[in-house]
């Protein structure tokens, strides 16, 4: 059992480091850890094997998250998620299986493949029911599907899913214990999903109000999510025809990226710059271009 427990301890350390260590550095360590776990699992039995398999599944989940959200390598992420699901099966951990399956839905969802995203979410929900998922996890599944539907252009369904998630958190027992590895979702994160969907649905005033509230309540340590929110606020102001205000939010987002690099956050900034094309000759947009394509930001983007 010591082998499994020791492996799980390192997995937990990687999980905590995800929010503070540059992803390109952490990824190499996580991948090597999965290689070690894969080699060890064939040499273990009984309770030790179960503990090791669960930690290995979590490690593959983390590797896939870095591949997808930080390094923008969906194929590598998909491979990591498949291996993670196999390990979760070895551990017979239905909630880990649900989490991994829901993450796989991001891949077709972000590519605009609605049917595949929905199918994977159906599988994730089946595993969640099997594992008696707590309210927070059920709400997260709604949020994941909502983001996929938003990316696929179905904002009506997305807003309905978010409303359901809000009801789950209001009516459910939010004190139910959640898996320790599920550290990426809170009610504030749900509101962030909502603000982005409102933005895409062109509910500009509602999106602004939602996102400003999220920004006020976001933990100071949540640098990656802060970049996303700042980028969405910039997009709101661009959509409202306030380019100078949009540039102000983008500059704040770039400040945050300087402290905590996040490829998904940089994508949000690039999307805002496209919205600012009509004002491309204005001094504040030119200043933004100079900063966006400065040495530090450009090198970070190429290293993702």
**Do 107 and 172 have their domain in common?**
yes
**Do 179 and 99 have their domain in common?**
yes
Given pLDDT bands bounded at 50, 70 and 90, which one contains residue 78? very high
In the chain, the number of structural domains is 3
**Do 175 and 221 have their domain in common?**
no
**Do 297 and 237 have their domain in common?**
yes
**Do 101 and 60 have their domain in common?**
no
**Do 46 and 111 have their domain in common?**
no
Rounded mean pLDDT, 49-77: 96
pLDDT at residue 297 is higher than 70: no
Tell me if 267 is assigned to some domain.
yes
Q: Write down the residue that tokens 């969906």 correspond to.
A: 74
CB-based contact 235:245 (threshold 8 Å): no
**Do 134 and 70 have their domain in common?**
no
Q: pLDDT tens, 104-120?
A: 999 999 999 999 999 99
Of 57, 92, 127, which residue sits at a domain end?
A: 92
**Do 109 and 179 have their domain in common?**
yes
Q: pLDDT tens, 190-237?
A: 999 999 999 999 999 999 999 999 999 999 888 999 999 999 999 999
pLDDT at residue 258 is higher than 90: no
- Report the pLDDT value the prediction gives residue 208, as an integer from 0 to 100: 98
**Do 68 and 152 have their domain in common?**
no
- Report the pLDDT value the prediction gives residue 91, as an integer from 0 to 100: 97
Domain span at residue 279?
A: 204-304
Please report the DSSP string for 57-88 in residue order.
Answer: HHHHHHHHHIIIIIS--HHHHHHHHHHHHHHH
- Report the pLDDT value the prediction gives residue 172, as an integer from 0 to 100: 78
Note the pTM of the prediction, 2 decimals. 0.92
CB-based contact 161:143 (threshold 8 Å): yes
SS3 assignment for 27-41 = HHHHHHHHHHHHHHH
Structure tokens given for 99: 């989490």
Query: CA 39, CA 288: separation in Å to the nearest integer?
Result: 49
Query: CA 28, CA 24: separation in Å to the nearest integer?
Result: 7
Query: CA 241, CA 48: separation in Å to the nearest integer?
Result: 59
The torsion region of residue 185 among left (phi > 0), alpha (psi -120 to 50) and beta comes to beta
Tell me if 193 is assigned to some domain.
no
Q: pLDDT tens, 2-14?
A: 888 899 999 999 9
What's the distance, Cα to Cα, between the start and end of the chain in Å? 37
Query: CA 63, CA 163: separation in Å to the nearest integer?
Result: 31
- Report the pLDDT value the prediction gives residue 40, as an integer from 0 to 100: 94
Tell me if 190 is assigned to some domain.
no
- Report the pLDDT value the prediction gives residue 89, as an integer from 0 to 100: 97
Given pLDDT bands bounded at 50, 70 and 90, which one contains residue 15? very high
- The CA-atom distances, in angstroms, between 75 and each of 106, 108, 178, 186, 217 are 12, 11, 29, 28, 34
Q: What size, in residues, is the chain?
A: 304
Q: pLDDT tens, 169-186?
A: 999 776 788 999 999 999
pLDDT at residue 266 is higher than 60: yes
**Do 65 and 110 have their domain in common?**
no
- Compute the mean pLDDT over every residue in the chain, rounded to the nearest whole number: 93
Mapping DSSP to helix (H, G, I), strand (E, B) and coil, where does residue 92 land? coil
- The CA-atom distances, in angstroms, between 289 and each of 7, 127, 297, 299 are 46, 46, 11, 15
Tell me if 234 is assigned to some domain.
yes
């Amino acid at each position: 059992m010591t082998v499994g427990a020791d492996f799980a301890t390192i997995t937990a350390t990687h999980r905590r480091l995800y929010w503070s260590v540059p992803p390109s550095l952490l990824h190499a360590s996580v991948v090597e850890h999965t290689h070690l776990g894969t080699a060890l699992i064939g040499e273990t039995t009984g309770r030790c094997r179960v503990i090791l398999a669960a930690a290995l599944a979590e490690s593959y989940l983390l590797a896939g998250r870095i591949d997808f959200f930080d390094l923008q390598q969906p194929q590598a992420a998909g491979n990591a998620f498949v291996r993670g699901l196999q390990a979760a099966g070895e551990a017979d951990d239905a909630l880990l299986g649900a989490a991994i399956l829901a993450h796989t839905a991001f891949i077709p969802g972000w590519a605009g493949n609605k049917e595949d995203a929905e199918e994977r979410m159906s599988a994730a929900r089946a595993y969640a029911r099997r594992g008696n998922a707590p309210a927070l996890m059920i709400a997260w599944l709604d949020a994941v599907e909502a983001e996929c539907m938003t990316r696929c252009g179905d904002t009506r369904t997305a807003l309905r899913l978010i409303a359901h998630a809000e009801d789950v958190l209001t009516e459910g027992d939010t004190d139910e214990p959640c898996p320790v590895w599920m550290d990426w979702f809170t009610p504030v994160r749900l509101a962030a999903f909502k603000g982005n969907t409102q933005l895409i649905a062109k509910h500009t005033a509602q999106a602004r109000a939602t996102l400003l509230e999220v920004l006020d309540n976001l933990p100071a340590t949540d640098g990656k999510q802060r970049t996303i929110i700042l980028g969405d606020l910039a997009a709101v102001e661009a959509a409202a025809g306030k380019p100078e205000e949009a540039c102000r939010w983008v500059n704040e987002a770039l400040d945050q990226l300087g402290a905590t690099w996040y490829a998904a956050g940089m994508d949000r900034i690039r999307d805002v710059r496209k919205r600012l094309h009509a004002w491309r000759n204005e001094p504040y947009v030119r200043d933004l271009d100079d900063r966006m394509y400065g040495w530090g930001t450009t090198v970070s983007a190429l290293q993702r």
